[in-house]
Amino acid sequence: MIPRYTRPQAAAIWSPENRYRIWFEIEALACEGMASIGAIPAEAAAVIRERGDAKLAAIGPADVERIDEIERETRHDVIAFLTWLAEAVGPESRFVHQGLTSSDVLDTCLAVQLTQAADLLLADLDGVLAALKKRALEHKHTLTIGRSHGIHAEPTSFGLKLAGHYAEFRRNRARLEIARREIATCAISGAVGTFAHVDPAVETYVAAKLGLAVEPVSTQIVPRDRHAAFFATLGVIASGIERLATEVRHLQRSEVREAEEFFHAGQKGSSAMPHKRNPVLSENLSGLARLVRSAVIPAMENVALWHERDISHSSVERGIGPDATVTLDFALSRLAGMIDKLTIYPEQMLANLESLGGVVHSGEVLLALTKAGILREDAYKIVQRNAMATWTKLGKQDGRDFRANLLADPEVAGRISAEVIDAAMDSRLHLAQLDVIFDRVFQD
C-alpha cells in the first residue's frame, strides 16, 4: 500500500527483512528438528542457528539488495535467499533445506505473517469496540429518529444505533479469531506433500515452535480454502466499517447535521468554499473498505490450483496479503479515532424527530385506536389520512400537526382522549427496553 494509508507496525510485517527472518527461522527449526531425530548432525544445526541468527539480526538494505542480485540470476527467490544464507553459514549450509520445497518455506512464512497481521487487526478491533461502547453508553438515552428507506420511521436512541455497530464488530472480532486459527497452519512435507524426504516429526517440531498447527494434507502447498476464508473475513470486517462510515456520512449532511466528524483547528474543508465541513474520514473509510473487499474474489479464485500445486496463487497473494491487511489496519485505526471524537448534536436530533409534526408516532396511535375497539384496518385508514394531512401541509399557514388533526377527526373524537394520544406520542416509550438490549450487547 501507499504510505498515506500505511501504519509502520503493519508495514513491518510485510517488509523483506521480516520475511527473510521468518524464512531463516523455518529453515533453522527444520534443521533442529532433523538433528533431534538424527537426520543431520546436531553440531551442524547449532552452527546454522548461531551464524544465521547473527546474520539475520543485522539484515539491512544491503543484504536485501544482495538477495535481489542473486535472484536476478537464479530467477528463484528462495534459492537466492539460501545462497545468501550459505555465504554466512559456511559448509554447514549443505544441511539447510534438506528434503524441503520452496512451498514449505513460503506457505509457512505466509501463515506466520498472516497471524501477525491478524493479531494487529484484533487489537485494532478492540480499539473500535472500546470507542463504540464508550459513545453508546454516553448516548444511551439520547433520543433521535430512526429511519427506514432514508425516511423518518420511529424514535430510537443514538446510543442504540452505536450499540448495533458494536455488536457487529464484536461478531467480526470472533470471525477473525476463527480465521486466524484456520490460517495458522504449517507445511513441511516436501515435494507433493508425501514426506518422502523429510520426516513428519520435523513438521510437527517446526509447527510447535512457530505456534502453528500442521496441515493434515498439504499436497506440497497449504490448501487455499484457508486463505480464501481469511480474506473473506477481512472483507466482511471492511463492510462493517463502511456501514458505520455511511451512517456518519448521512448524519453529517447539511439537512440532517445530527453528528459530524471532529473538525480540527486550522482544518480546511474545500479549496473553493471556505464554509465546507466535509465527512472526509468516513468517505475515506468507504473507499478503503472497497480496496479490502477487492482481495476477496482473487483469494476465492486461488483455491482451484492445478493438481498438487501451481504458482498462479503466488502473484495474487504477494499483492493482496500486504494490501488487504495494511489497508484494514489503517481503516480500523482511523475508524476508532473518528468515533471517539465524533461530534454529536442531541438538540438537532430532537428537532429532526419533531420536524414532521408528530407523524412519527403513527404506529403507537394505531395501537391506541385498536385497543379502543376499532378494527385494525379501519384504524390504519384513520391514522394514515391524518398523517398524510399533516405531512402535505407541513409549514403551510393552514397546516396542523398530527395531534391536532387527530383530535379534530370525528372518528377519533369520543374513541380515545387527548391524554391517550399524548401518551402514544411520547418518544420516551421507545426507550423503555433499552436496558434489556444494552445488557444483551454489553454483557462482557
Distance CA 65, CA 206 (A): 28
So which residues are the catalytic ones?
149, 270
Query: Which residues are within 8 A (CB) of 171 and not within 5 positions of it... i.e. 6 or more apart?
Result: none
Exposed, middle or buried, 104 (CB in 10 Å: 0-12/13-18/19+)? buried
Distance CA 316, CA 311 (A): 9
Q: Are 35 and 350 in contact (CB under 8 A)?
A: no
Beta bridge partners of 147: 152
Cα 329-122-241 angle, rounded to 5 deg: 55
Distance CA 352, CA 250 (A): 13
Cβ atoms < 10 Å from Cβ of 344: 17
Distance CA 82, CA 96 (A): 8
Residue 155 has φ and ψ, to the nearest 5°, of -65, 150
Exposed, middle or buried, 261 (CB in 10 Å: 0-12/13-18/19+)? buried
Query: Which residues are within 8 A (CB) of 125 and not within 5 positions of it... i.e. 6 or more apart?
Result: 169, 172, 173, 176, 237, 332
SS3 content of the chain, % helix, strand, coil (to 5): 65, 5, 30
Cα 301-304-310 angle, rounded to 5 deg: 105
- Beta-strand pair 259-260/343-344: antiparallel
Report helix, strand or coil for 344: strand
